[in-house]
Amino acid sequence: MKSVIRSLGITVWFLFLTFPLLVVRVNTIEDTVEWRWRNMLYFGVGVFVLSFVWRDLMGRKERSQAREAQAPADSLRRRLLEDPKLFRPLLALAAVFAAAFPFAFSAYQVNIMTTALIYVVLGLGLNIVVGLAGLLDLGYVAFYAVGAYTYALLNRHFGLGFWACLPLGMGFAALFGVLLGFPVLRLRGDYLAIVTLGFGEIIRLILENWNQFSQGPSGIANIPRPSLFGLDLNLQQATFYLYYLMIGFVLFTIFVVNRLQNSRLGRSWLALREDEIACQAMGIDKTRTKLAAFALGATWAGMVGVIFAAKTTFINPASFTFLESAMILSIVVLGGMGSILGVFIAAMVLILLPEYLRAFSEYRMLVFGTTMVLMMVFRPQGIIANVRRRYEFHGLEDAA
């Protein structure tokens, strides 16, 4: 009964606030006022139902969290994440689907999927900095731009190909990651976010205004696509080839990031994320750990930047704005901090959902925003939260 009364109160309040917009309509041509009471009725019923449903969902969320707190070890999610054998049939099915995708769908669909895979690698790279090390980086797109312009400029002035520029783009991006890391070693939280945001904007403004170096807003065109043993590929063949290359890069990135998580450096990142002071007190070199996080995270952004330049064959500073950094950060947060599978799923959802909702062009961004809000309310830990390792000692029980 209390929920019904609260929903009625919320409905009345919303109707009071929206009354001039919903009910009153002034016809300036005929100098008349039209009273649209039916709109008020529809809106009131909708607000009441949504409020009641929202309150019920919030109650279920609290009860679910209480049950997980009482028996976290028995949850299905923990068993799935701790036992990789359960994923083998799904992985086999996903591998078959990925291999057959270009032959079952159009080149346009393959191009969209390639873009989604690019954001998967970007999300996994930023996941090292934000998800594992806990360093909020809002200028991640700067390293993405460094990789893209490395390939474009080296090809334009020195004629270097894709495979020669790929390690160079990764190296230059890692160097810029270290250069960013040194000034922010003593910063945390909001201050770190502001500095990294400024770094990203500085890189974009340099590329936009230094015409002799980067061609300014006009950008660089006619960037060659990746070659296959010197063979000439048409547009469709190049699209398919780049798609399979991205699958290989995604698998390579997942392997490396997973090994980093379980390494000594990965555990240092996790300790740094949880408590920086305790991490330093335990003898971990905070400076080297932070610089390694920035450098390795930037390395993957530089690699994907080279691939992006080869995919589009044209780049300009407008492709590397703050909105790109916000999108990549949204992928990490939505997927789950430190979760590889979560980042993969979030990248697929956030990149593919707007594309496949083009039929509802007037409402697709509304659906996109609503999905983000609902996820942050009901799953603030992300789609797949990273399972915290636990160590249990049963020696005394066995002895008894």
Nearest to 198 by CA among 178, 184, 218, 217: 184
Query: Which pLDDT score, from 0 to 100, does residue 85 have?
Result: 62
**Max Cα separation, the chain?**
94
Indicate if 78 and 65 belong to the same structural domain: no
Indicate if 42 and 85 belong to the same structural domain: no
Domain membership of residue 134 (yes or no) is yes
Indicate if 257 and 186 belong to the same structural domain: yes
Distance of alpha carbon 46 from alpha carbon 7, whole angstroms: 11
Indicate if 85 and 166 belong to the same structural domain: no
Query: Which pLDDT score, from 0 to 100, does residue 73 have?
Result: 44
The SS3 of residue 33 is: strand
Indicate if 180 and 204 belong to the same structural domain: yes
Residue 178 contacts residue 143 (beta carbons within 8 Å):
no
**What length does the chain have?**
400
Q: Is residue 117 predicted with pLDDT exceeding 50? A: yes
The SS3 of residue 228 is: strand
Region of residue 272 (left: phi > 0; alpha: psi -120 to 50; beta: else): alpha
pLDDT digits (tens, 9 = 90+) for 34-87: 788 887 888 888 888 887 777 777 777 677 666 655 554 444 455 555 455 656
**CATH number assigned to the domain comprising residue 183:** 1.10.3470
Domain membership of residue 155 (yes or no) is yes
pTM (2 d.p.):
0.80
Kindly report which listed range (130-144, 217-231, 294-308) carries the lowest average pLDDT score: 217-231
The SS3 of residue 351 is: helix
Distance of alpha carbon 33 from alpha carbon 13, whole angstroms: 24
Contacts of 261 (CB under 8 A, 6+ apart): 132, 338, 340
Domain membership of residue 149 (yes or no) is yes
Domain membership of residue 390 (yes or no) is no
Residue 264 contacts residue 289 (beta carbons within 8 Å):
no
Indicate if 61 and 109 belong to the same structural domain: no
Indicate if 46 and 176 belong to the same structural domain: no
Nearest to 289 by CA among 280, 298, 281: 280
Distance of alpha carbon 209 from alpha carbon 216, whole angstroms: 5
SS3 per residue for 241-298: HHHHHHHHHHHHHHHHHHHHHCCHHHHHHHHHHHCHHHHHHCCCCHHHHHHHHHHHHH
Number of domains in the chain: 3
pLDDT digits (tens, 9 = 90+) for 252-296: 999 998 888 888 888 888 888 888 888 888 888 888 888 899 999
Indicate if 87 and 109 belong to the same structural domain: no
Query: Which pLDDT score, from 0 to 100, does residue 84 have?
Result: 54
Question: What count of other Cβ atoms lies within 10 Å of the Cβ of residue 133?
Answer: 26
Which of 70, 87, 115 is the last residue before a domain boundary?
Answer: 70
pLDDT digits (tens, 9 = 90+) for 315-341: 999 888 888 888 888 888 888 887 888
Nearest to 148 by CA among 137, 156, 139: 156
Domain membership of residue 400 (yes or no) is no
pLDDT above 90 covers a percentage of the chain that reads 20
Query: Which pLDDT score, from 0 to 100, does residue 74 have?
Result: 43
pLDDT above 70 covers a percentage of the chain that reads 87
Q: Does residue 1 or residue 286 have the better pLDDT?
A: 286
Q: Is residue 187 predicted with pLDDT exceeding 70? A: yes
Distance of alpha carbon 330 from alpha carbon 190, whole angstroms: 17
Cα angle, residue 345 at apex, residues 340 and 348 outer, rounded to 5°: 125
Paired residues of 315 in beta bridges: 220
Domain membership of residue 139 (yes or no) is yes
Indicate if 224 and 341 belong to the same structural domain: yes
Domain membership of residue 387 (yes or no) is no
Contacts of 236 (CB under 8 A, 6+ apart): 107
Q: Across the chain, what does the average pLDDT equal?
A: 82
Q: Is residue 388 predicted with pLDDT exceeding 70? A: no
Angle between helices 235-261 and 264-274 (to 10 degrees): 80
Indicate if 79 and 148 belong to the same structural domain: no
pLDDT digits (tens, 9 = 90+) for 203-237: 899 998 988 888 888 888 888 888 787 777 787 88
Indicate if 46 and 142 belong to the same structural domain: no
Query: Which pLDDT score, from 0 to 100, does residue 389 have?
Result: 58
Domain membership of residue 235 (yes or no) is yes
Q: Residue 222: which domain range?
A: 105-378
The SS3 of residue 71 is: coil
Paired residues of 389 in beta bridges: none
Query: Which pLDDT score, from 0 to 100, does residue 23 have?
Result: 76
Indicate if 66 and 76 belong to the same structural domain: no
Q: What sign does the CA torsion over 15, 16, 20, 21 have?
A: negative
pLDDT digits (tens, 9 = 90+) for 9-39: 888 887 787 777 777 777 777 778 778 888 7
Distance of alpha carbon 144 from alpha carbon 142, whole angstroms: 5
pLDDT digits (tens, 9 = 90+) for 159-171: 888 899 999 999 9
